[in-house]
Structures are given as C-alpha cells and as structure tokens.
C-alpha cells in the first residue's frame, strides 16, 4: 500500500510532462512547459520551475505542442493546430490538412483566445495616437485662533487632453482667506493653453487667462498670448523647457480711498481722505516669457515655474511670477502633498498702496486621476 501511495506523485509528474509543450534547443537541451508565443525572433515559454523564460528563436532546433496554437509564417499564411517538431521542420495539424514549415519561416505565434503580437502592436500604436484626458485637483484649508482669527480656502483644478504631439490644458483656481474679520485674499482665475509640437524639440502655443484679485484692486484682468517654445531636456527624470511670444494684456482696477494727490489712504475715515481714485487701466500689447522645470527624485517631484510679462508700451510695467513646489506621494494611490513657495511681483501695485512683492507659502493635497 505504501508503494502505491509513493507512486502517485511520480504518476502525476509524468502525466504533467506528457501534456506539456516541449522545446528542444540547438545544444540538445529539452524544456517542458507551455509555449505562450513567438514574436520578434524570440519564443516565450511558461515553465513550472523558472516561470516565463525567453529564448532566441535561432537557438531553437524544434518544438512540439500538446494543444493547438496559432502560427503565422513569412508568406502571411496562418495556421491553427497542434505542432509536431522534428529535425526536418514543424508539422501543423491544421483544419485544412497538415502543413509543413521550417522553424526559421515562423514569424509569430500565439495561444488561442489571445491576440496576435501584430494585433497587439497595432493597438498600442493606435493608443499612442489617441488623445486622453488627465485630471488634477488641489485643495487646502487653513484656520487659526488665538491672538488672531484666520480662515483660508484655496482650490484648483486642471484638465489636460494630451496626444502624441499636442496638448490642451484647462485650469481654474480660487483663493479666499480672512484674518480678524477682514479679507486677506480674494482672487480667482482660469485659462486655457494649447501646445503643438513640431520638429524634435520645438513647439508653438496659444494661451489665454482671465480673473480678478480684489485685494490688489484688480476688478478684471485678461491675457492672451501666442509664441514658440523649446524643450532642452526631456526624459524620465528631468524636463526643462522655455517659451516666448507676443500677447495682449488688459487690467481694470477698482477705486480706492485717496487724498487730494490721489495717494492711497487707509479709508474714508482717514483725515486725508478726499475722494476715490483708481489706477489707469492697462490695455497694451505685451511680451510673454516662461521657464518650466521638473525634476523627479526617489522621494518626490520638484516643479519650478518662472514667468515674466512686461507691456510693450512700458517695460517698467510688468508682472513676474515664480513658483517652486515639491510633490510628495502618499501611500494612497493618486494622492500627494504639495509644499511650495510662490512669489508674485506687480511693478504697479504701489499705485494702489500695496506691496509690489507678494509671497505665499502653501501646503496642498493633490489628487490625480485619468
């Protein structure tokens, strides 16, 4: 009885080997397993002892399959049936009769129920040509009590439709905060940018942006620009690009309390208050410059942006924006934390009694999805 039990594993092993495909190499070695396919001069075999292994087709003498398999040869003919290999070639028991080919004539092979390697490549090529959407949402909420009471809310959303040679990006951002009952931030903006690549590293772009900033007395601003860009570095670790073009800038400003010389005062209760004044609206052709840099570390991603937009009528009237941030991935898929610093310089802000340089530190939750 013990001998009978001892024979059971041996019988099972023999049965499994009998049902396995067999690959014979040029040096006479035999590999038992399941032939998954042949593509690009390589044969892939799933084995029980080493997982999937890939062997150069030129190093194979013959192979035999236990079950039907698809074979396509150089003249384009495709066969389906079990394969019996010998020193003279391969015999395929196709539904239309037996076909005999040499191993060197086999262009590709695949399992029934699967797609051929050629079909998979065509699908991949079509997928690369198709545009796809990607989305990003950012959210941060702040609060403070004690010596002062403060609350803040900022949200941002980006949607990008990207193809192999172009991209269309929409964005919107809202920022609002209050300190001791008074607004310390109240602005919103949105825009769209289209970029189309040509050549190895060049692209052209058009973009527009509109919004308001109540704290800076900007009732409405609008910018439109078009130009060319160049990518200097683009790989899995780093991306560096610049852009430059011509545009149009429009800004309309709200009135502020002022003295007799139109200098800003603290309010209507100020003893020097005489009337409300406002900055002269800006409506001018402008220049559009930008530098964009991304670097991927093992622990996160650094993003740097620098833009400079002077008016052509007066180069002393300009706005420059610098933003540096670090995206730190979280364990939750698609989520990350962004820590950043933003500097915005408005050369004409002093006219409204505001600082020319506005610096913001932020921490945001980022969600990305497709």
CATH number at residue 154: 2.40.128.130
- Is residue 7 domain-resident? no
Q: What would the mean pLDDT of 15-42 be, rounded to a whole number?
A: 85
83 and 146 inside one domain: no
pLDDT at 12 over 80: no
- Is residue 2 domain-resident? no
pLDDT at 132 over 70: yes
- Number of domains observed in the structure of the chain: 2
Domain range enclosing 22: 16-127
pLDDT given for residue 16 in this prediction? 42
86 and 189 inside one domain: no
Which of 127, 155, 185 terminates a domain? The answer is: 127
pLDDT at 215 over 70: yes
Tell me how far the alpha carbon of residue 85 is from its chain's centroid.
48
Other CB atoms within 10 Å distance of the CB of residue 282: 19
Q: What would the mean pLDDT of 47-68 be, rounded to a whole number?
A: 94
182 and 33 inside one domain: no
Other CB atoms within 10 Å distance of the CB of residue 147: 6
171 and 244 inside one domain: yes
24 and 91 inside one domain: yes
Beta bridge partners of 287: 246
Highest mean pLDDT among 225-229, 248-252, 355-359: 225-229
Q: Are 92 and 83 in contact (CB under 8 A)?
A: yes
pLDDT given for residue 361 in this prediction? 87
- Please work out, in degrees rounded to the nearest 5, the angle formed at the alpha carbon of residue 153 by the alpha carbons of 151 and 155: 175
The continuous run of DSSP H or E covering 2 comes out as helix 2-19
pLDDT at 9 over 50: no
């Amino acid at each position: 009885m013990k001998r009978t039990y001892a024979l059971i594993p041996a019988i099972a092993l023999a049965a499994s080997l009998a049902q396995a495909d067999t690959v014979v190499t040029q040096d006479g070695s035999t590999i038992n397993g399941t032939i998954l396919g042949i593509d690009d001069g390589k044969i892939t075999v799933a084995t029980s002892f080493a997982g999937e292994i890939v062997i150069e087709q030129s190093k194979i003498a013959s192979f035999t399959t236990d079950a039907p398999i698809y074979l396509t040869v150089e003249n384009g003919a495709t066969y389906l049936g079990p394969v019996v290999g010998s020193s003279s070639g391969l015999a395929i028991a196709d539904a239309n009769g037996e076909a005999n080919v040499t191993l060197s004539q086999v262009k590709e092979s695949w399992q029934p129920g699967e797609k051929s390697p050629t079909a998979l490549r065509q699908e991949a090529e079509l997928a690369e040509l198709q545009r796809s959407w990607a989305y990003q949402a950012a959210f941060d909420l702040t609060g403070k009590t004690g010596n002062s009471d403060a609350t803040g809310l900022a949200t941002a959303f980006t949607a990008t439709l990207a193809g192999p040679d172009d991209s269309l990006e929409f964005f919107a951002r809202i920022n609002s905060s209050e300190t001791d009952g008074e607004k310390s931030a109240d602005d919103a903006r949105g825009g769209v940018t289209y970029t189309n690549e040509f050549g190895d590293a060049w692209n052209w772009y058009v973009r527009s942006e509109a919004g308001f900033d109540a704290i800076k007395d900007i009732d409405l601003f609008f910018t439109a620009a078009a130009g060319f860009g160049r990518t200097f570095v683009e790989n899995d670790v780093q991306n560096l690009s610049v852009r430059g073009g011509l545009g149009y800038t429009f800004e309309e400003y709200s009135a502020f309390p002022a003295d007799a010389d139109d200098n800003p005062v603290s309010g209507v209760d100020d003893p020097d208050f005489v009337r409300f004044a406002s900055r002269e609206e800006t409506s001018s052709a402008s220049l559009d410059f930008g530098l964009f840099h991304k670097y991927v570390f093992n622990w996160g991603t650094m993003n740097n942006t620098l833009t400079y937009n002077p008016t052509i009528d007066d180069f002393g009237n300009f706005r420059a924006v610098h933003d540096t941030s670090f995206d730190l991935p979280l364990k939750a898929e698609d989520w990350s934390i962004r820590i950043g610093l933003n500097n915005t310089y408005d050369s004409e802000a002093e006219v409204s009694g505001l600082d020319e340089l506005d610096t913001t530190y932020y921490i945001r939750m980022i969600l990305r999805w497709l």
